[in-house]
Structure formats: structure tokens, C-alpha cells
Amino acid sequence: MMATPDTAARERIIAAVAVVIARDGYRGSKIHDIAKEARVSLRTFYLYFPNKEALFLELHARVVKGVISAIDGGVSFDQPWRDAMSQGFETYFRILTAEPRLTTAIISELTTISDESFEAWEYARGEFATLMSTLVERGRAANPGIPSRPLSPLMARSILGGVLELVTSRVISGEVERLPELVDTATDLLWSVVTNVEG
């Protein structure tokens, strides 16, 4: 089904903010520049979004959904389980390094814009923690011979918090391109927790 003109304009605006933030960062992006990139008037922009923050939150929601889908669909358990874990983190860090300015905006600015943006960040963390727990369960089902334990929601969020601490440190230091170096550390952390079975 072809998009209606109104839908098409809205989609262009969402695509445009990704381009402008990737170029100028969130703080440096201007609504005028976003509208120009989207080839719409300011009147049309405000017809769909009350401000830049609302647009950024819409973009963030789509980014989260896309990253989760990419990881979920990209992990294969037709390989050693630890390698499958590594594959998930490789996908995650590869996506983050693709657009450094956008990643920086999400990681270092999203939580400080407003209460709503902080809630969006917290929601995203919950979604990623749920994905981690789900993938661990798939791994356990595919590898019954390896002693393991389920990953509780609280433990998943703890592991994710540790990984995000490392990511944030690299992002703040302007080293987004070095995020793939964290794959082994993140994998070691998850693997050690899941396979740490007493008895």
C-alpha cells in the first residue's frame, strides 16, 4: 500500500531528524534544518510534532525497535552458545557505531532532556533486558547439555547496566568507533552469569 501524502510527509520528517542529528547532534539540530531536510514547511512540521523533543522521542522509539529486531533476528544458535551471545553483542555495537552522532545523542543526551525522555530511556532499557532474558532462554533450550540458569529480569538489567556503563564511557570520550572492542567483555559477563551454576 502506498503512503498517503500526509503519511509520507510525517515519515520524511522522522527520516530527516535522523540525518540532521547524525550531522549536527541533538543540541545542534534546528527545527528549520529538519524541515528543510524533509522538504516540508514549518507549518507542516508543527502539524505532526509539537517540538524537536517529541520528534526525537519518536525517532528513538523506532531506533530501539529496529535494534531489538536486528539482534533478535540475527542471533543463530546453530553455533556454540557463547559465540551466539557474542553475535548478539556484535550486532548491537555495530549498529551503535554506524551513526556516531545519533548514538551520542541517545546515550548522553536523552536522559537529561525531560522527564518524558528519561522515561523513554528507562523503557528502552527494560526492552533490551527482556530481549537478553529471552535470548538466554533460547540458548538454554538449544544447549541442554551446558549447565545454565535462567536470567531473571533483575539480573538482566544489572548486566545491561554494566554494559551501558562501558558504552557511555566510550561515547562521552568521543570513542564511539571503539565500541566493538567491548564485545568480548560483554560476552564474558553474560556467559559467566548464565553458566555460573552451583552444585
First CA to last CA across the chain, in angstroms? 57
Set out the domains of the chain in order of their start, with CATH numbers. 1-49 (1.10.10.60), 54-194 (1.10.357)
Label residue 5 by pLDDT band (50, 70, 90).
Answer: low
Please answer whether residues 29 and 21 qualify as being in contact, where contact means their C-beta atoms are separated by less than 8 angstroms. Answer: yes
When pLDDT is averaged across residues 169-190 and rounded to a whole number, the result is 96
Task: Write down the pTM of the prediction.
Answer: 0.91
> Going by C-beta distance under 8 Å and a sequence separation of 6 or more, which residues neighbour residue 66?
none
pLDDT above 70: residue 3: no
pLDDT above 70: residue 78: yes
C-beta neighbour count of 111 within 10 angstroms: 15
Q: What is the per-residue pLDDT across 156-177, written as a single tens digit (0 to 9) for each? A: 999 999 999 999 999 999 999 9
